[in-house]
C-alpha cells in the first residue's frame, strides 16, 4: 500500500509539472501571435541578457541586431509554468483543482497543439478557405474522434488496453506533427515532446485514482 501511495504521488507530481508546462507554452505562443508589444519586450530582455553574457565572457558587449528568440520564448514559459505549478500545488486539495487534474488536463494535453493550429489562423485566413483546408486534411474528423475517445476515457467507459491507448495517443500527435507548425521556431519540438508524455501521464493519473477507489489527489 505504501508503495502504491508513493507511486500515485509521483504520478500526481509529474502530472502537475507537465500540465503547468503545457499551459505555459500555450500562453506564450498566443502572446507571440496576438500580443506583439509584449513579445517585443521579451526580445529586448533577451538582448540585454546576451549583452551581459558577452561582458562576462569577453569583457565587452558585442553588437547584436538580432536574437535567436530562445530566451525570449522560454524564459516567460518557465516563469509562467513555475507560477502555474505553484498555484496548482497550493490548491491541490480543492475540488476545483481536482477537477482540473481529472478532466481539463486531458483536454489540454491532447488539444493544445490542434487549438494553437486552429485559432491563430482565424483572423488571417478567409473562413471558407480555412474550412476547406481543414476538411481537406481531415483535421475535423481526427479532432472529433479524439474528443470522443477522451470523453469516453474520462467517463470510465474506455475498454481499450493501456498499451493500445498509448499507441492511439502517439498517432494523434504524429498526425498533428505533420500539420503546419503553430509555434515560434524557438519552441522547436518541445511542445510535442511535452504533449505526448503529458497525455500518457494524465491517463496514468486517472487509472491510479480508479485503482485507489478515491476522489482524493
Residue 153: inside a domain, yes or no?
Answer: yes
135 Cβ neighbours under 8 A, 6+ residues apart: none
Residue 14: inside a domain, yes or no?
Answer: yes
Residue 106: inside a domain, yes or no?
Answer: yes
Q: In 2-120, where does DSSP find H-type helix?
A: 2-34, 36-58, 70-90, 95-99, 105-118
pLDDT band at 190 (very low <50, low <70, confident <90, very high): very high
Residue 217: inside a domain, yes or no?
Answer: no
3-state SS, residue 63: coil
In the prediction, which pLDDT does 42 show?
84
Residue 201: inside a domain, yes or no?
Answer: yes
Neighbours of 103 (CB within 10 A): 17
Domain that holds residue 86: 2-212
In the prediction, which pLDDT does 12 show?
93
203 Cβ neighbours under 8 A, 6+ residues apart: 106, 153, 162, 165, 166, 169
pLDDT band at 216 (very low <50, low <70, confident <90, very high): very low
Residue 160: inside a domain, yes or no?
Answer: yes
The answer to whether 147 and 169 are in contact (CB under 8 A) is no
Torsion of CA 123, 125, 128, 131, to 10 degrees: -90
pLDDT in tens, 105-148: 999 999 999 888 877 655 555 555 655 566 666 888 899 999 99
| Length of the chain as a residue count | 217
Residue 11: inside a domain, yes or no?
Answer: yes
Cα–Cα dist 151/148, whole Å: 5
The answer to whether 10 and 210 are in contact (CB under 8 A) is no
Cα–Cα dist 67/191, whole Å: 21
| pTM of the full structure | 0.84
Residue 184: inside a domain, yes or no?
Answer: yes
Determine the average pLDDT of the residues in 71-76: 90
Q: How many independent structural domains does the chain possess?
A: 1
pLDDT band at 33 (very low <50, low <70, confident <90, very high): confident
149 Cβ neighbours under 8 A, 6+ residues apart: 158, 168
DSSP secondary structure string for all residues of 143-169? HHHHHHHHHHHHTT---S-HHHHHHHH
Amino acid at each position: 500500500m505504501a508503495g502504491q501511495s508513493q507511486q500515485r504521488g509521483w504520478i500526481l507530481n509529474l502530472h502537475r509539472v507537465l500540465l503547468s508546462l503545457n499551459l505555459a507554452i500555450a500562453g506564450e505562443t498566443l502572446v507571440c501571435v496576438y500580443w506583439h508589444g509584449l513579445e517585443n519586450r521579451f526580445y529586448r530582455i533577451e538582448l540585454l541578457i546576451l549583452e551581459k553574457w558577452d561582458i562576462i565572457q569577453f569583457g565587452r558587449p558585442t553588437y547584436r541586431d538580432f536574437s535567436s528568440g530562445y530566451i525570449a520564448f522560454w524564459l516567460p514559459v518557465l516563469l509562467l509554468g513555475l507560477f502555474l505549478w505553484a498555484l496548482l500545488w497550493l490548491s491541490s486539495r480543492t475540488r476545483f483543482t481536482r477537477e482540473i487534474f481529472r478532466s481539463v488536463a486531458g483536454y489540454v494535453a491532447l488539444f493544445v497543439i490542434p487549438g494553437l493550429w486552429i485559432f491563430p489562423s482565424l483572423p488571417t485566413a478567409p473562413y471558407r478557405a480555412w474550412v476547406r483546408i481543414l476538411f481537406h486534411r481531415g483535421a475535423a474528423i481526427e479532432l472529433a474522434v479524439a474528443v470522443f475517445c477522451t470523453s469516453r476515457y474520462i467517463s470510465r467507459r474506455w475498454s481499450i488496453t493501456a498499451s493500445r491507448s498509448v499507441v492511439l495517443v502517439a498517432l494523434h500527435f504524429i498526425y498533428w506533427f505533420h500539420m503546419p507548425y503553430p509555434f515560434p521556431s524557438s519552441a522547436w519540438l518541445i511542445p510535442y515532446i511535452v504533449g505526448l508524455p503529458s497525455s500518457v501521464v494524465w491517463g496514468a493519473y486517472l487509472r491510479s485514482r480508479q485503482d485507489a477507489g478515491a476522489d482524493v489527489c
